[in-house]
């Protein structure tokens, strides 16, 4: 059986599944329950300055979008950092770490952008013997209005500056958590690295309004008739997060910088995908807020079985394995040709592939009077839309071999040619091979 133990910045955990800094990690009782359930580590809910704690709204703080069957797909929150006294949190962190030394316990921090604030809180965290700190430069709501969270993460210079303070005033491993609410995720990652960060974690939540109350004409969740943008997370954000993780992993300036992957991780497969794109471990929040802590059992068995099937013995063998396959559009092989292929035995004749192709794509799927659907290869551009809308997964893309006739172009499939050397490219500068 595969070994799922993970070492991240020297922090050991029995598996690479951590809970992200969020409501599930706000209190000792939750964290102990998470560890009992099998989670490998937690990032404790963000601590702030000593003194009067932040105040949360007392109305609804979450909003969500759901699939038609009721599955929660995206979750939005307007909750702030921990609203419990710093002293209480530090005492609980120390107690949990003492009792669970085999689990990773990292503390998330967010204090104002002055060196003394960071210096003083770091000293207090070190006393807990926590394994490391994660700098919350990501929360997009509430705290950002006070110059913290995403307000820092959106300015690479601030990211670098604060990271440097943290590394100067602490011997603890330092993870910088990035906000996705920025046009180029590579910039804050580079800044974090320059500041001395040991790792980055991403993504934090995305600015969002999930819904509008059409009677009140107010955003939801609605607080006394008004709403504000929140932070969006859950399965719906996974594709955005995967891309940002990959961008950092393949950026020469940050290549090799350890990454903790966050964003919609719900199953073992999601976790493996983040790891393949360069994350050493993953952090989970929405999935446990939807189903409870028990889901980690499926993640453990799923990843373990997958690794066994693949003959992999350690999780680091997965990490970054897909990074070399992430490239720019201009390097894609424009001569690579596939055609939709329908398995008639599994087709239930719903006709959706036909109608979406007919209405919105390339008129390449015919439906006969008996509802049998067939691909018109002479029209099919292999866009994959039919594959994605088929409810029974009975459509696949058949790869044409080199030399095989493409009915659409009337020409045989030729060998590799990308845009950089394509005859239609006025800027072509290479042979495109």
- Known catalytic residues are 139
Which residues make Cβ contacts (< 8 Å) with residue 127, sequence separation at least 6? 90, 94
Residue 345 is a binding residue for another protein (CB under 8 A): no
Binding part of the chain for another protein, among 225-233, 252-260, 352-360, 424-432 by CB under 8 A, reads 352-360
**Burial tier of 118 (Cβ tally within 10 Å: 0-12, 13-18, 19+):** buried
Binding part of the chain for another protein, among 54-62, 127-135, 147-155, 345-353 by CB under 8 A, reads 345-353
| String of DSSP letters for 92-133 | HHHHHHHH-TTSEEEEEE---SSHHHHHHHHHHHHTTT-SEE
SS3 track for 352-364: HHHHHHHHHCCCC
CB of 288 vs another protein, minimal distance in Å:
24
CB of 208 vs another protein, minimal distance in Å:
21
Give the number of residues in contact with another protein, rule: CB under 8 A.
15
Residue 348 is a binding residue for another protein (CB under 8 A): yes
Pick one of 351, 408, 421, 425: the residue that binds another protein (CB under 8 A). Answer: 351
CB of 393 vs another protein, minimal distance in Å:
11
Nearer to another protein, 279 or 373 (CB): 373
Helix pair 268-276, 296-310: axis angle to 10 deg: 60
Which residues make Cβ contacts (< 8 Å) with residue 383, sequence separation at least 6? 361, 362
Beta strands in 164-317 (DSSP E): 174-177, 199-202, 206-208, 211-213, 218-220, 230-233, 259-262, 279-284
The bridge status of strand 174-177 relative to strand 199-202 is parallel
Residue 354 is a binding residue for another protein (CB under 8 A): yes
Nearer to another protein, 10 or 391 (CB): 391
Binding part of the chain for another protein, among 62-70, 117-125, 181-189, 331-339 by CB under 8 A, reads 62-70
Residue 411 is a binding residue for another protein (CB under 8 A): no
Pick one of 350, 397, 413, 428: the residue that binds another protein (CB under 8 A). Answer: 350
Pick one of 371, 405, 412, 415: the residue that binds another protein (CB under 8 A). Answer: 371
Q: Whats the size of the chain, residue-wise?
A: 433
Nearer to another protein, 152 or 353 (CB): 353
Residues 267 and 287: their CA atoms lie apart, in Å, by: 8
3-state secondary structure at position 190? helix
CB of 236 vs another protein, minimal distance in Å:
18
Structure tokens at 300: 């453990």
Q: Which of residues 126-185 bind another protein (CB under 8 A)?
A: none
Structure tokens at 356: 């979406």
Binding part of the chain for another protein, among 42-50, 200-208, 301-309, 348-356 by CB under 8 A, reads 348-356
Residue 65 is a binding residue for another protein (CB under 8 A): no
Residue 255 is a binding residue for another protein (CB under 8 A): no
CB of 358 vs another protein, minimal distance in Å:
8
Q: Which of residues 28-57 bind another protein (CB under 8 A)?
A: none
Nearer to another protein, 207 or 211 (CB): 211
Helix or strand run (H / E) with residue 153? helix 150-153
CB of 66 vs another protein, minimal distance in Å:
10
Structure tokens at 120: 């003083």
Nearer to another protein, 73 or 326 (CB): 73
CB of 392 vs another protein, minimal distance in Å:
6
Binding part of the chain for another protein, among 105-113, 149-157, 276-284, 349-357 by CB under 8 A, reads 349-357
Helix or strand run (H / E) with residue 404? none
**Residues 67-86: x where in contact with another protein by CB under 8 A, - otherwise, as a string:** xxxx----------------
Q: Using alpha carbons, list the distances in angstroms from residue 73 to 204, 263, 413.
A: 16, 12, 40
Nearer to another protein, 302 or 351 (CB): 351
Q: Using alpha carbons, list the distances in angstroms from residue 18 to 7, 15, 43.
A: 12, 8, 7
Residue 414 is a binding residue for another protein (CB under 8 A): no
Residue 392 is a binding residue for another protein (CB under 8 A): yes
Tally: H helices and E strands in the chain: 12, 22
Residue 15, φ and ψ in degrees, nearest 5: -155, 165
Binding site for another protein (CB under 8 A): 67-70, 348-352, 354-355, 367, 371, 391-392
């Amino acid at each position: 059986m595969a070994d799922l133990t993970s070492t991240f910045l020297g922090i050991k955990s029995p598996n690479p599944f951590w809970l992200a800094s969020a409501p599930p990690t706000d209190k000792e009782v939750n964290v102990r329950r998470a560890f009992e359930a099998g989670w490998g580590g937690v990032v404790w809910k963000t601590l702030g300055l000593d003194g009067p704690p932040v105040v949360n709204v007392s109305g609804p703080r979450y909003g969500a979008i759901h699939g038609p069957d009721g599955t929660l797909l995206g979750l939005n929150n307007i909750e702030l950092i921990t609203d419990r006294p710093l002293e209480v949190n530090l005492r609980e962190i120390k107690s949990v770490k003492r009792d669970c030394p085999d689990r990773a316990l990292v503390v998330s921090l967010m204090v104002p952008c002055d060196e003394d604030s960071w210096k003083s809180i770091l000293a207090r965290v070190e006393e807990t013997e926590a394994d490391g700190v994660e700098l919350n430069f990501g929360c997009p709501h509430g705290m950002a209005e006070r110059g913290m969270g995403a307000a820092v993460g959106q300015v690479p210079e601030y990211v670098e500056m604060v990271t440097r303070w943290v590394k100067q005033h602490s011997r603890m491993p330092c993870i910088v958590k990035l906000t996705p609410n920025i046009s180029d995720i590579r910039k804050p990652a580079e800044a974090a690295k320059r500041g001395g960060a040991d790792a980055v974690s991403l993504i934090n939540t995305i600015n969002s309004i999930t819904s509008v109350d059409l009677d009140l004409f107010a955003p939801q969740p609605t607080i006394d008739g008004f709403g504000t943008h929140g932070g969006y997370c859950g399965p719906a954000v996974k594709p955005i997060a995967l891309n940002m993780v990959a961008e950092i992993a393949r950026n020469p300036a940050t290549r090799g910088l350890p990454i903790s992957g966050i964003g919609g991780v719900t199953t073992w497969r999601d976790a493996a995908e983040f790891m393949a794109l360069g994350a050493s471990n993953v952090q989970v929040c929405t999935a446990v807020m939807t189903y409870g802590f028990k889901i980690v059992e499926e993640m453990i068995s799923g990843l373990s079985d997958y690794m066994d099937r693949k003959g992999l013995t350690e999780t680091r063998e997965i990490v970054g394995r897909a990074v070399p396959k992430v490239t720019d559009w201009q390097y894609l092989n424009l001569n690579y040709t596939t055609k939709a292929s329908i398995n008639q035995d599994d087709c239930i004749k719903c006709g959706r592939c036909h109608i979406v192709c007919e209405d919105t794509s390339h008129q390449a799927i015919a439906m006969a009077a008996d509802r049998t659907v067939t691909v018109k290869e002479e029209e099919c551009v292999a866009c994959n839309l039919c594959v994605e809308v088929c409810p029974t997964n009975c459509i696949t893309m058949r790869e044409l071999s080199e030399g095989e006739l493409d009915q659409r172009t009337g020409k045989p499939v030729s060998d590799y040619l990308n845009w950089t050397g394509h005859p239609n490219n006025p800027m072509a500068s290479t042979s495109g091979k």
